[in-house]
Structure 1
Amino acid sequence: MATTKISSTKSTSRAINYAEKRAEEKSALNCDIDYAKSSFKATREMYGKTDGNEGHVVIQSFKPNEVTPEQCNQLGLELAEKIAPNHQVAVYTHNDTDHVHNHIVINSIDLETGKKFNNNKKALHDIRQANDEICVSHNLSIPEEKAKLRYTQAEYSVLNKGKTSWKDEIRHAIDQSQAASYEELGNDLQQNGIKIERITDKTITYRHLEEDKKVRGKKLGEDYDKGGLEIGFNRQNEQREEQARQRELEQARREKIKRDKEREKEWARFNRSTQAIRQNRERSEREERERERKARELEEQNRRAREERVLLQSFKSTIK
């Protein structure tokens, strides 16, 4: 049994940093996994699409002991090929929770058209349908009851007409939220015309304000009930902690660069000062040597003059 969620990200580099740090397995579509960040950025710049969301992250989770990390990563790559065949995608497999799961980071740009990936309600439905097809092809379980609850026949009928059901609007609003608590989720949903009607020890109920209809989270699917939400909250808190750590590291790196530059300037000033002192000393030494030389020459001249006077006096005495 595999479940999927999708969210948008304004920084694929941060998403990759978080996913890569704990990855046991990794693979890529349409790029080199070791250069995914730079490849994603180069593509966005080439098409002039550097504003807004840089990409999207699909979380693909499997039930305990159903797949190995290697199998999980391969299934993630298969899902990427189905949902984003013309995009650059990096797939990272984590095994640090009860559920082995993939972080599938999708670059926003279609390599053939240059258009951005359309993360809407239909995309979420297509991702889940593709995921179910992959599970079936590999003889993995699909939660039949949950699937019926998630999309009723009436909802499928609405989707086939290119429209969206009010339940799907609730799902999509929850998927787009990056909340780390019920309070944050409630604020995000309120902006989309949805209210958290009630929370009990085991259940959560939502109200679609425009339709004035209520639905329990478990009727929407496992990801929208309390258990699924709290897994998402924990993951979001982990991501925030990692992002905060990365910011601290980046700040420390910048401060070190600044200190190193200041140190280089200090050394440059010290070297200039030392050089000036050395030059002054050498000039003083040269001047001192020159004075000593002239003093010796003068002394020699005086000595010779004295000798000449003595000789002259001696000569005069001899003549007398």
Structure 2
Amino acid sequence: MGDCGNGYHGKHLKAAIDYIKNEEKTDGGRLVGGINCQPDFAYDKMKNTKVKFGKIDKRQAYHFIISFEEDNIDDDTAFKITERFAKEYIGDDYEVIFSVHNNTKHKHGHIIFNSVNIKNGKKYRYEKGDWAKYIQPLTNSLCKEYGLSTIDINYDTKEKDERYKEWNTYRDGKFVWKDMVIRDVDSCILQASTYDTFLEMLKEKGYKIKQGKYMAVLMPGMKKYIRLDKIGDEYTRENIIKRIINESIADYKSDKVNSEPKIIYCRFKRYRRAKLTGIQKKYFAKLYRTGKLKKRAYSQAWKYRGEIRKMHKLHEQFSLLSKYGITSITELTEARNVLDDRRKSINRKISAVRRAEKAAKNLFETVDVIKELAESENCYVRGDEFFKEEHEKYTQLISEISSQGYTVEEIINLKEYYKSQYVKLRNKLKDVRKELRIADNLIKEENEKPIRQVEDKKEERGIDNRDRQPKK
């Protein structure tokens, strides 16, 4: 299983793991297991091992498939054979996830294991011929033990079992004729209007056709004819005729789904501004001394900082007076007292919410523990006895909550309600405190106003007296 590039090295690995864990193919997830990792966290565990040893690129993992004869094995036996193969061949040096798919005519086991050793960080190395020398013999040995058919492997002659050769070809990524034949036959069915036209179109593609009891075709490059009915039930002569009548290209046009574009990976390079050379520095210094290069003026905003603060203060005071329609010092005092009573009322409500939260603290803590045990409970439900202790604790906590007349959802909603009420009250309290502070400042300024007026008059008299004195 190869690397997917710099943007997402483990894309193919994650997709493969998700595929073999598919609940529809594994009896609801029952036929899934793991070695050195839990199946639900297999990808993350493998990724962490790669990061730990600094080997996140190139080959990500290896994927083996064990296929069994049709109607020759039950699900549990297939799962045991797959598990034993993983333990005996791979051992405990790698993270392994394995499963059995029972949704097809031929049950088959999938085994995916990390390419990086969890103990020493070395990568698994597959040598040419290992499949025939070690892997297939082990598979045959396990199948014999359970009374199943095996594949005969002869290393000295070329007369190897045809199923083994085809599978070995597929595993090595070489061309498989069957896939090409299916593609061509489907294409001719869609385009043909009659069965005779279908045969003519196949011949135009270079196929040779045998029509006896069964229909067989030979494609250029193939050594043996392949029977179409062996590919699948939909390729018998009768079903091909039905498909020619019922199917058309329009039935296979996929709907285009417009998805929002997104950036997967972006690479950019930063360029530092080049430093001035010695002669450039002398040149700019001369321009500055001669006045041809002006120095950038500094901002003068600091001079008006005090005036800006004063403007904001006056705006807040005007907003308060306008909001409550205050026109006199008496009305301002009354408004201030109302704001103070409102502040005390909000504080009492906040205290009530806090007391309610404290009373329900044990319930909240119990729900938090239940959330932590949820993943373990899911694994136990799917048949993993390793989490039996967590299951018993999970059941006990659910019973405790039920005995008090609550459900997990009700407690979660209650906690969210208390949290939202506290935030709402705190925001109200913040606004009231601000208005209260503005009102106190206005009252203070109004009380100090007569004193300022007296001081201003004294200062004016002193200036007048100095002006009347004769100059020497």
- Please report the TM-score for the alignment, with normalisation by the length of structure 2: 0.36
Deviation at 1:91, TM superposition (A): 0.7
Residues 100 and 285 (structure 1), Cα distance of their counterparts in 2 relative to 1, 3 Å cut: same
Report % sequence identity. 18
Does structure 1 residue 127 correspond to structure 2 residue 135?
Answer: yes
2:321 corresponds to: 286
User: Contact (CA 8 Å) 1:26, 1:93: kept in 2 or not?
Assistant: yes
2:145 corresponds to: 137
1:304 corresponds to: none
Aligned mate of 1:35, from 31, 41, 44: 41
1:44 corresponds to: 50
1:223-242 matches, within 5 Å, as: 227=231
Q: Distance in 2 between matches of 1:30 and 1:288?
A: 68
User: Contact (CA 8 Å) 2:321, 2:327: kept in 1 or not?
Assistant: no
For residues 212-257 of structure 1, give each alpha carbon's deviation from its aligned partner in whole angstroms, at most 9, with x where no partner exists. Answer: xx86699xxxxxxx859xxxxxxxxxxxxxxxxxxx9xx79x99xx
Deviation at 1:62, TM superposition (A): 0.9
* Secondary structure of the structure 2 residue equivalent to 1:182: helix
5+ long unaligned stretches in structure 1: 1-6, 157-166, 186-196, 208-213, 219-225, 229-247, 256-279, 298-320
Q: Distance in 1 between matches of 2:75 and 2:17?
A: 18
Residues 203 and 118 (structure 1), Cα distance of their counterparts in 2 relative to 1, 3 Å cut: farther
* Secondary structure of the structure 2 residue equivalent to 1:40: helix
Q: Distance in 2 between matches of 1:99 and 1:132?
A: 17
User: Contact (CA 8 Å) 1:59, 1:102: kept in 2 or not?
Assistant: yes
Deviation at 1:171, TM superposition (A): 6.6
1:271-310 matches, within 5 Å, as: 283-287=318-322, 292-293=327-328
Deviation at 1:205, TM superposition (A): 8.0
Does structure 1 residue 71 correspond to structure 2 residue 80?
Answer: no
5+ long unaligned stretches in structure 2: 5-11, 184-205, 210-214, 233-256, 264-314, 333-472
* Secondary structure of the structure 1 residue equivalent to 2:45: helix
User: Contact (CA 8 Å) 1:64, 1:100: kept in 2 or not?
Assistant: yes
* Secondary structure of the structure 2 residue equivalent to 1:292: coil
User: Contact (CA 8 Å) 1:9, 1:56: kept in 2 or not?
Assistant: no
For residues 81-136 of structure 1, give each alpha carbon's deviation from its aligned partner in whole angstroms, at most 9, with x where no partner exists. Answer: 23222221111111111111111111111234422222343232232221111111
Deviation at 1:184, TM superposition (A): 12
Residues 30 and 291 (structure 1), Cα distance of their counterparts in 2 relative to 1, 3 Å cut: closer
Does structure 1 residue 97 correspond to structure 2 residue 93?
Answer: no
2:95 corresponds to: 88
1:18 corresponds to: 19
User: Contact (CA 8 Å) 1:29, 1:77: kept in 2 or not?
Assistant: no
Task: Answer 1 or 2: higher relative contact order, Cα 8 Å, separation at least 6.
Answer: 1
Q: Distance in 2 between matches of 1:199 and 1:110?
A: 51
User: Contact (CA 8 Å) 1:206, 1:217: kept in 2 or not?
Assistant: no
- Please report the TM-score for the alignment, with normalisation by the length of structure 1: 0.51
Residues 284 and 114 (structure 1), Cα distance of their counterparts in 2 relative to 1, 3 Å cut: closer
Larger Rg: 1 or 2?
2
Residues 286 and 76 (structure 1), Cα distance of their counterparts in 2 relative to 1, 3 Å cut: same
Equivalent AA in structure 2 for residue 15 of structure 1:
A
Equivalent AA in structure 2 for residue 135 of structure 1:
C
1:258 corresponds to: none
Q: Distance in 1 between matches of 2:208 and 2:59?
A: 32
Residues 64 and 45 (structure 1), Cα distance of their counterparts in 2 relative to 1, 3 Å cut: same
* Secondary structure of the structure 2 residue equivalent to 1:92: strand
Number of residue pairs aligned between Structure 1 and Structure 2? 209
1:56 corresponds to: 62
User: Contact (CA 8 Å) 1:76, 1:91: kept in 2 or not?
Assistant: yes
* Secondary structure of the structure 2 residue equivalent to 1:128: helix
Deviation at 1:288, TM superposition (A): 6.5
User: Contact (CA 8 Å) 1:120, 1:172: kept in 2 or not?
Assistant: no
For residues 154-192 of structure 1, give each alpha carbon's deviation from its aligned partner in whole angstroms, at most 9, with x where no partner exists. Answer: 369xxxxxxxxxx97x9755323398942999xxxxxxx
1:313 corresponds to: none
User: Contact (CA 8 Å) 2:64, 2:111: kept in 1 or not?
Assistant: yes
Deviation at 1:19, TM superposition (A): 1.1
* Secondary structure of the structure 1 residue equivalent to 2:129: helix
2:465 corresponds to: none
Deviation at 1:140, TM superposition (A): 1.3
* Secondary structure of the structure 2 residue equivalent to 1:21: coil
User: Contact (CA 8 Å) 2:3, 2:57: kept in 1 or not?
Assistant: no
Does structure 1 residue 174 correspond to structure 2 residue 133?
Answer: no
Residues 17 and 217 (structure 1), Cα distance of their counterparts in 2 relative to 1, 3 Å cut: farther
Q: Distance in 2 between matches of 1:203 and 1:117?
A: 42
